[in-house]
Amino acid sequence: MTASAPPPRERPIAVFDSGVGGLTVLQELLVELPHEDFLYLGDTARFPYGERSAAELERFALEITELLLARRAKLLVVACNAASSAALDAVRERMVSTTLGVEVLGVIDPESRIAAERSRSRRIGLLATTATVASGAYDRAVRNYASDATLTSVACPDLAPIIQRGFPFDRQVEETVRAYCEPLREADVDTVILGCTHYPLVAPMLQRRLGPGVALISSGRALAASVATTLQRANLGSTASDEGTYRFLCTGDVETFRALGSRFLQMPIDEIEHVELSSAVPA
């Protein structure tokens, strides 16, 4: 006899990213929604996403979507900025077409809204991967919330891979960060969007170079608030009174994910399942 599927409220919230950077988002979700269960997928075998084409990113995102649908996710968080910029509409179309009617949230809109609210000078900066900058997704989102704002975008092709390689950070990381900050200093921005989930890990370096008066906007807290609002509106919040569970899937080496992921998440990582995706070709 097959066990019946859990009711929608008790299904997990799924989160996916190209690697471990999305754990900075999961960390905020675990704090904001302690009674929810979470399932995180890190596509570490195909990391980094930042130099991929839009077509590749859409294919990867839809492939992961199918896997997470099969795991009965009640809501999907696309924690990867590159995937959000290239594939969010396609993922939403796929998810809402199911009988579950799963909603999808990405990182770009919440960050852009908060940046528009915070900026006094209307000069906003963006640090992101090449794919994210090239997509123009942040330009459109910022313009939607502040039509008079000027966005200075800086592509940072090697910053996420450097961070993903692990700790401790050395002078190479510091010099890389300083170089990427220079165009933003020249543009005299007062607000900077961290357009990659890895970048909060070097926030102290960024803040020191940009100055204490510049607001850094990361996706984790803003996205956690959006998830909470979405669950309430859809009447999908967990009814549990105890802390929820969090589980992990990864497409690359499990032990590497565990060692690095625990530093990003700042919580223990126990259960990790290795999964194979059909087109897991490294960048």
Q: Which fold has domain 109-218?
A: Rossmann fold (3.40.50)
Q: How high is the pLDDT of residue 4?
A: 60
Q: How high is the pLDDT of residue 279?
A: 53
Q: How high is the pLDDT of residue 196?
A: 94
Number of C-alpha atoms within 13 angstroms, CB side, residue 69? 19
- 3-state percent helix, strand, coil for the chain, nearest multiple of 5: 50, 15, 35
Quick one: which of 20, 54, 22, 216 has its CA closest to 132? 54
CA distance 37 to 273: 16
Question: Whole-prediction pTM value?
Answer: 0.90
Q: How high is the pLDDT of residue 281?
A: 45
Q: How high is the pLDDT of residue 6?
A: 73
Q: Which amino acids are annotated catalytic?
A: 80, 196
Q: How high is the pLDDT of residue 282?
A: 42
Q: How high is the pLDDT of residue 102?
A: 80
For the chain, the structural domain boundaries read: 11-107+221-274, 109-218
The answer to whether domain 11-107+221-274 and domain 109-218 are alike in fold is yes
Q: Which regions of the chain are under pLDDT 50?
A: 1, 280-283
CATH of 11-107+221-274, one of 3.40.50.460, 3.40.50.1860, 3.30.1360.200, 3.40.1280.10: 3.40.50.1860
Q: How high is the pLDDT of residue 266?
A: 87
Q: Which strand ranges, in their side-by-side order, compose the sheet holding 13-17?
A: 103-106, 75-78, 13-17, 38-42, 246-250, 272-274
15 DSSP β-pair partners:
40, 77
